[in-house]
Amino acid sequence: MLRKLSNVLRWILWPFSILYGIVNYIRNYLYNNELKKIYQSELYTINIGNLTVGGTGKTPHIEYLQRLLSPNWEIAILSRGYGRKTTGYQAVTGQSTALEVGDEPLQFYHKFGHQTPVFVCEKRVEGILRIEKEKPNTQIILLDDAFQHRAVRPHLNLLLTDYRRLFYQDYVLPMGLLREFRLGAKRANAVIVTKCPQYLSLTDKNKIILQIQKYTLPSIPVFFSTFKYGAPIPYFNNLPLLIDNQPIILISGIAQPTLFEEVASAMYKIISHTALSDHHNYTQQEAQRFVKMAQKSPILTTEKDWVKLFPLLEKMGLKEARLYYLPIRVGFDTPTFDQYVLNEVAKQSRV
């Protein structure tokens, strides 16, 4: 019954999806035919984006590229700063908050700020121009979620698609979750299928590749990545480590909380999961409530939640709270992705 209602609702939304897709098609047509201005920096730019609304794993893939490229090139990261309450260009600093710069840029800074500067600007051209001027030693700019930001032409355009909701199986908003028609994939220089099972057969990979290449330019490479989860890290150093099958509480404010719950449930006994909206901005009242909950059972959050909750707990002096976060890293099934990126950068970047 629910499935029938879902199908009926989809067909009701279908005309709105077509209208939304046409508007974006016209916009892309203007850029593709140079009727709207496109800027390409002299600095080598790599975009990590998607066709889908949220949840494809852009943040850990940017972190992967930073680790891959930073030993040989000077990197900067530029993000829109989704969810922030400010506008314009800003450099992320040790004093920045998620409300000022967004949670993902703040996460980048906590990991790489000592080595790689992080900036936010909703107008990417303005952001790139400021980086060119203020950070003249920069050689590569990593653009977070700029696949639909057509005013910039990246040198390398990486399109991410989630294994659980591949773009060629989806529909344009509001009928589905696509930001534009599937043919937008033609702008990609390479496609990464993210969040894959650890063991994905060659047959399954080839089936996915054949479907993806119906929408991309010929011979575009397709790569497959997985999430690798480390041991939970305590918010505060004085906390004991979690033990296997320990009862815990989950708190998350991410696009796909189900995957987080699946991973956690393989290691621990889940008592409850408070799944909030993506990029949720936590309040002091919520932090205090979580501390009370943690007195009964430890709380596990994502890393994106940690960058927002930790400052609140620290500010309120609640350093005994039993909160932990689950670190994520990206892994590729073969070294070909690294070789591809390094070759592309070496061919074109200013060294």
Which superfamily does CATH assign the domain made up of 44-228+331-348 to?
P-loop containing nucleotide triphosphate hydrolases (3.40.50.300)
Q: For the segment 81-104, what is each residue's pLDDT rounded down to a tens digit? A: 998 999 999 999 999 999 999 999
Closest CA to 24 of 211, 192, 188, 173: 173
pLDDT of res. 274: 96
Provide the edge-to-edge strand list for the sheet that holds 118-120.
Answer: 90-91, 118-120, 75-79, 140-144, 44-50, 156-162, 190-194, 222-229, 328-332
pTM of the complete model: 0.94
* Token representation of residue 70: 């930073």
Give the residue carrying structure tokens 């790569």: 223
Q: Given this model, what pLDDT does residue 205 score?
A: 97
* 281-323 confidence digits (pLDDT tens): 999 999 999 999 999 999 999 999 999 999 999 999 988 899 9
**Band of pLDDT at residue 65, cut at 50, 70 and 90:** very high
Q: Binning pLDDT at 50, 70 and 90, where does residue 351 land?
A: very low
Q: Region 21-48: what's the mean pLDDT?
A: 96
Report residue 137's pLDDT band, with 50, 70 and 90 as the boundaries. Answer: very high
User: Where does CATH 3.40.50.300 sit in the chain?
Assistant: 44-228+331-348
User: What is the crossing angle of helices 103-112 and 303-315, to 10°?
Assistant: 80
Query: What would the mean pLDDT of 74-84 be, rounded to a whole number?
Result: 95
Topology of domain 231-326 in CATH is Rossmann fold (3.40.50)
Residues of the chain with pLDDT > 90: what percent? 89
- pLDDT confidence of 6, banded at 50, 70, 90? low
Q: What is the pLDDT of residues 108-134, one digit of tens each?
A: 999 999 999 999 999 999 999 999 999
Work out the widest C-alpha separation in the chain, in whole angstroms: 61
Q: Would you say 319 and 122 are in contact if contact means Cβ atoms under 8 Å apart? A: no
pLDDT in tens, 209-230: 999 999 999 989 999 999 999 9
Task: Residue 173: name the closest of 22, 351, 66 by CA.
Answer: 22
23 Cβ neighbours under 8 A, 6+ residues apart: none
Mean pLDDT of 141-148: 97
